[in-house]
Structure 1
Amino acid sequence: MPTTKTLREGSTRKRAAILSAARELFLADGFDRSSVDAIAARAEVSKRTVYDYFGDKQTLLRAVVDAVGESMISTVRRTLDETLTGLTDRTEAAGLEDALVTFSMRIATDMLGSAEYATLQRLVRAESRNLPHRGYNTMADTPDEALAERLAALAAAGLLHVPDPRLAADQFIALTFGVALDRLGSANAVEDARVRPLVVEGVRTFLRAYRTA
């Protein structure tokens, strides 16, 4: 069971070094074969420091998964800011479609095609029994909620009719990345050129349901 003792916040540099070392060893050797001694040696800290910062190896694994997930959430928020901000009711229909496709393709390359995403998927699949519950993923609903907020903003600008922003976000994801995952087994646009046509058609289907007249 993860530790319940009070942990030290400690040095940001040392914490990052421990997380990086643990991530590398968990991916290379697996959780069970990665010792705290080996993690400490790679991070160039003492074994005591690892325990002081994280308490035990299971808590450290969860911290690694959380750190990767937080990095990906930052990617989602940055992409939303760069692609779906500043649109107004004067935006032409084609402009809104292009913006949503651009957002989707950026997610399919910058996130779903990233080493961070591959790392998260590998850790969650391989080490599920050592995580708090099956399918544990620190990202949880955060990206969906961030997209829902942006869709609500587009509705406020008069571009969309979105009675339930979270439902609209879930449907947008299902129509774009979800279709690619179901049909191709991946939504990684870097590796598979078939992803883009599916994303484009998904965006168009979404707009037929939600675009204002």
Structure 2
Amino acid sequence: MDNTENKTIRKGSPDKRAKIIAAARDLFLSEGFDRSSVDAVAAKAGVSKRTVYDYYGDKQNLLLAVVEETSSAVMDMIEQGISDHLWEFEDLEQTLILFCEQIVAASANGSSDYTALIRLVMVEAANLPVSFFERLDNATEEGIIRRFTEFGQTGLLEVSDPQMAAKHFAALTFLLVFNQPRKTGILQDEQTKRIITEGVRVFLCAYAPRTVQNENQPSY
């Protein structure tokens, strides 16, 4: 592993930092962390090797910076979905479906931050501190937990443990979609819609108030 002498890591130019992060993420995903050198990152970013060391200290810190920056983009994506769908709505099932579909659609476009994050975390788990995973889980679920807590308070859901409810919800819906083999075309869209819809309904079977379930069967 690349090392550098103990010294103060400087903040540096935001533009250079962004280029270094983008280059490192591309290389870590395509070549793997161990096979990606600081020299290669510097060359791809168009900066000197010394600049990479000055900004990030060593390759381990660079990996952590890459994953944390990507996770920040993921959290922004989830918060946008919450803002768009989980505040004002008429039908809880439908709005939860739309929320998940927006997250999946956002991850499939542009830089695919969520997909990139999942891949990096899974492949490079041994190179990341244990504390990172707990922080990532908590941060990613924080907005959903807040809304589920409020849904419990208003009687839309029965949630004794909002954090566990958020984990169940994610696992049954958009995380399940991300774990599917990659396909293209209409079949993928139909499969995604089916996974999300059935996942939301299973979630509501467990967390919708019993009176609501009885009144609306067989909806859930």
Q: TM-score, normalised by structure 1?
A: 0.78
Query: How many pairs were matched up?
Result: 204
Amino acid at match of 1:57: K
The Cα shift of 1:150 comes to 0.9
Provide the rounded CA distance (Å) in 2 between the counterparts of 1:189 and 1:166: 32
Identity of aligned residues (%): 43
Partner of 1:172 in structure 2?
169
What residue identity is the alignment partner of 1:44? G
What is the one-letter code of the residue matched to 1:62?
L
Verify: 1:111 aligned to 2:107, yes or no.
Answer: yes
Is 1:207–2:204 an aligned residue pair? yes
Give 1:97 shift. 1.3
Larger relative contact order (Cα-Cα within 8 Å, sequence gap ≥ 6): 1
* 2:92 corresponding residue in structure 1: 96
Kept in 1, the 8 Å contact 2:107–2:115? The answer is no
- CA-atom RMSD in angstroms: 3.2
Higher helix share: 2
CA-CA distance at 1:148 after TM superposition: 1.1
Stretch of structure 1 that moved more, 1-10 or 43-52: 1-10
Following TM superposition, by how much is the alpha carbon of 1:196 offset from its aligned partner in structure 2, in angstroms?
A: 2.0
- 5+ residue gaps, structure 2: 212-220
Give, in angstroms, the shift of residue 67 of structure 1.
1.3
Shift in Å, 1:59: 1.0
Are residues 1:196 and 2:193 paired? yes
Amino acid in the other structure paired with 1:97: E
Q: Partner residue of 1:79?
A: 81
How far, CA to CA, are the matches of 1:188 and 1:5 in structure 2?
44
Alignment of 1:2-13 (within 5 A): 5-13=7-15
Match of 1:27 in 2: 29
1:143-162 Cα deviation digits (max 9, x unpaired): 22321111122233443333
Paired residue secondary structure (1:193): helix
1:186 alignment partner, one of 180, 186, 194: 180
Change over 3 Å in CA distance of 1:166–1:15 after alignment to 2 = same
Is the counterpart of residue 162 in structure 1 residue 156 in structure 2? no
Following TM superposition, by how much is the alpha carbon of 1:10 offset from its aligned partner in structure 2, in angstroms? 1.8
What's the CA shift string for 1:115-150, capped at 9, x where partnerless? Answer: 223322332343334333599586323222321111
SS of alignment partner, residue 45 of structure 1: coil
